[in-house]
Amino acid sequence: MPRSTPTGAPGARLAHALDVASRTVLAAVGGYVAAALTAAGFARWLPIPRVEAVMTGMLVSFAVYAVVAIFAFAVARASRVWFWTSVYCAPLGLALYLSMHGGGA
């Protein structure tokens, strides 16, 4: 990410703006989703009393959020962070959904 808005062709400036916007959404929304799914996963599957598992997930979730937010801006290509965040969130979300609504649980 350039340190300041590049002066140059309008195309380059637009690309830069889109890059920043994409990373910002990823950090704010993607980070929160990853944190929330982590909290839910801990709550559901940690083999300790339920109330303890919920609390553990809560305590850990903020670290997950911060890590995703940092990565969103640290990695050279935004698309790569999108990919890895999806790889983390999608299976976890699906497993949670099935475990809660799939009749099994």
Residue ranges that bind another protein, judged by CB under 8 A: 1-4, 19, 27, 35-37, 39-44, 48-59, 61-63, 65-66, 69-70, 73-78, 96, 100
Which among 78, 85, 97, 98 has a CA at the least distance from the CA of 21? Answer: 78
Q: In terms of CB distance, is 37 or 85 closer to another protein? A: 37
Shortest approach of another protein to residue 25 CB, angstroms?
14
Shortest approach of another protein to residue 84 CB, angstroms?
15
Shortest approach of another protein to residue 47 CB, angstroms?
13
Of the CA atoms within 13 Å of residue 48, those in its CB half-sphere come to 11
Shortest approach of another protein to residue 66 CB, angstroms?
5
Q: Which two tokens stand for residue 11?
A: 């195309």
CA-CA-CA-CA torsion for 37, 42, 43, 49, nearest 10 degrees?
180
Q: In terms of CB distance, is 19 or 86 closer to another protein? A: 19
